[in-house]
Structure 1
Amino acid sequence: MVEKNAVVILGATATGKTACAVAIARRFSGEIISADSRQVYRGLDLGSGKDLGEYGEIPYHLVDVVSLPDEYSVYQFQKDFYAVFDDIASRNVLPVIAGGTGMYLDAVIRGYRFRDVPENPALRSELAPYSLEALRDRLLKRKKEIHNRTDLEIRERLVRAIEIAESPGDEEPAPIHLAPVILGIRFPREELRRRIRIRLEARIDEGMIDEVAGIHAAGISWERLERLGLEYRFTAEYLQGKIPSREDYVSQLYTAICQFAKRQETWFRGMERKGVDITWIENGDLAAAVSYAEKFF
């Protein structure tokens, strides 16, 4: 049996991943590494579900590491993750990775290979007249497997993806060997929807709309907020009057979060089909999660 060197807690939104990670980190005196594409941003608190109060005395990493309007990519996450993981492991502490951003998790579990490619001004000038469809065609001719489908929808990301795909050189090897115990938290569909509704209403009551309004007032464009998706997209649209009523806003956002949870579950099933071994913990049973981890640490 391969010796395990980390625990991963994954699952759809509103499944209680943070609580599970905290329980395991507390049991084994571990430290938590967040794998969430929006919690990396300072100021995205209620909408991203940081719930920092849940961590208590447990050290955590890769939360609040970048500021808007900067972009943060899966490549940057992987680099930052490796640095944090190496630091935690060097102190003989157990890393507990928790999050629901499937691509971030897959990038470190399966060790995506990336390259640090500089900008190519000549290529960018050549691509400037291209339509989105022409850019997509060019990228897909060079790269059949696209980890991040957003690369096909946003012009800046398409250009960058082409820049990387067409650059010479070898992909960087993964600098660490991650051999984690992977626990997935799941609930029956109707129960998950109930949890999503309760959490959404709580976040709105706690001031999520004011949070988004404040971020925009600080100079972040509506367009940038909308690109963050879900809570930030729908709240930005509501504040601009694109969604006519609060009732419509809550209803549309709730539906979108439920659809997102379904996509997360599909992504995790895809990881399993690619050989990732996930042990599923039913109904957020923290005792069962800790008990299973005790078999390895």
Structure 2
Amino acid sequence: MLKVNSQKSKVIVILGPTASGKSSLAVKLAEKIHGEIVNADSRQVYKKMDIGTGKTDSLGSKIPHHLLDIVFPDKPFSLAQYQRLAFRAIDDILRRNKIPILVGGTGLYIRAVVDNLDIPKVKPNITLRQKLEKQTAAKLFSQLKKLDPKTAEIIDYHNKRRLLRALEVVLIKHTSFAELQKTKKPRYDILQIGLKTDRAILRQRIEKRFIQMIKNGLLEETKKLLKKYPANLPSMSGIGYLEIGQYLAGEISLQEAVNRAVSRTYQYAKRQTTWFKKDERIKWISKTSQAGKYILNFLKK
């Protein structure tokens, strides 16, 4: 095991687009450096949504994982809630002299921890929200692109709840939701490692992974969820669940569901990469074996 300089609270972040291999790298690292994993994927916080969110590998790991399965699909879960729980999990890991490894592709979740964001407290406007809720996600996203292009770059444009909140903030405060998030003094000494993958290879991985999800039981998982939860929930409009739900409803063929889910995932992966590329602190690697030298130097300094 590596000898860690304990003068500062060190946290490692493994980030990158979906299907880039973050989770497997994080588990290997955790085994070597006595680490525990903290989830930074906004879909993996939901209970009962395992196959479609790529959570199944994490659930079978011997390495402790935090912030998986913490909220039911029909319950709201804010960025502020995530930040509070992430800080609690990281502090607990550090108290036990282990190394927290924050893993995921949700840019705002990662930034909330890395930059200790001071998340704006804007009370919901019921009248405004009721008016916005009558619009489709596509119309909400179009409006957000005009009013707050910075936030529109990174938001999941099918997640109606997040679109509503972002529009609510910009219409009430008359400024960008992203710009409202001020940074405070960092809580931790952080190393961010990003996984970069050739786009053609990434798309192949995305397609292969989604087909494997179907083989692993995604259709049955979606059926069970739809028996218990409405199809119009933000969680159920997530990539994979929306398309399989449309297939189960007889609206599209299974092949069309696969095509749409793969295309949507790839577009999301490109937006993730665009978001992360703006942070010059990230150490980008093309091979997982390259992570070792960065981590060794980081833990010893």
Cross-structure match for 1:182:
192
Q: Report the AA paired with residue 187 of structure 1.
A: T
Q: Report the AA paired with residue 65 of structure 1.
A: I
Cross-structure match for 2:255:
247
2:233 alignment partner, SS class: helix
Cross-structure match for 1:230:
239
Larger deviation: 4-13 or 39-48? 4-13
The yes-or-no answer on 1:67 pairing with 2:72 is yes
The yes-or-no answer on 1:76 pairing with 2:76 is no
In 2, the alpha carbon distance for the partners of 1:117 and 1:203 equals 38
CA deviation vs aligned residue, 1:237-258 (integer Å, no higher than 9, x gap): 2212222x11111112111111
2:55 alignment partner, SS class: coil
CA deviation vs aligned residue, 1:42-61 (integer Å, no higher than 9, x gap): 01100000134576321110
Cross-structure match for 1:263:
271
Larger deviation: 148-157 or 76-85? 148-157
Cross-structure match for 1:288:
290
In 1, the alpha carbon distance for the partners of 2:195 and 2:101 equals 14
Distance of aligned partners of 1:150 and 1:258 in 2 relative to their CA distance in 1, 3 Å threshold = closer
Distance of aligned partners of 1:34 and 1:158 in 2 relative to their CA distance in 1, 3 Å threshold = closer
Distance of aligned partners of 1:175 and 1:228 in 2 relative to their CA distance in 1, 3 Å threshold = farther
Contact 1:42/1:66 (8 A) holds in 2 = yes
Distance of aligned partners of 1:251 and 1:115 in 2 relative to their CA distance in 1, 3 Å threshold = closer
2:298 alignment partner, SS class: coil
The yes-or-no answer on 1:216 pairing with 2:226 is yes
2:232 alignment partner, SS class: helix
Contact 1:35/1:99 (8 A) holds in 2 = yes
The yes-or-no answer on 1:103 pairing with 2:108 is yes
Q: Where has structure 1 moved over 6 Å in runs of 4 or more?
A: 130-134, 170-173
Contact 2:37/2:102 (8 A) holds in 1 = yes
Q: Report the AA paired with residue 268 of structure 2.
A: F
The yes-or-no answer on 1:193 pairing with 2:210 is no
Unpaired runs of at least 5, structure 2:
1-6, 175-179
CA deviation vs aligned residue, 1:5-63 (integer Å, no higher than 9, x gap): 11000011111111111111111111110100010000110000013457632111000
Cross-structure match for 1:278:
282
CA deviation vs aligned residue, 1:171-208 (integer Å, no higher than 9, x gap): 89858613211111122112112211211111111110
Cα RMSD of the aligned pairs, angstroms, is 3.4
2:15 alignment partner, SS class: strand
2:297 alignment partner, SS class: coil
Contact 1:9/1:99 (8 A) holds in 2 = yes
Query: TM-score normalised to the size of structure 2?
Result: 0.80
Cross-structure match for 2:13:
8
Query: TM-score normalised to the size of structure 1?
Result: 0.81
Q: Percent identity?
A: 30
Provide the aligned length of Structure 1 versus Structure 2.
281
Unpaired runs of at least 5, structure 1:
none
2:46 alignment partner, SS class: coil
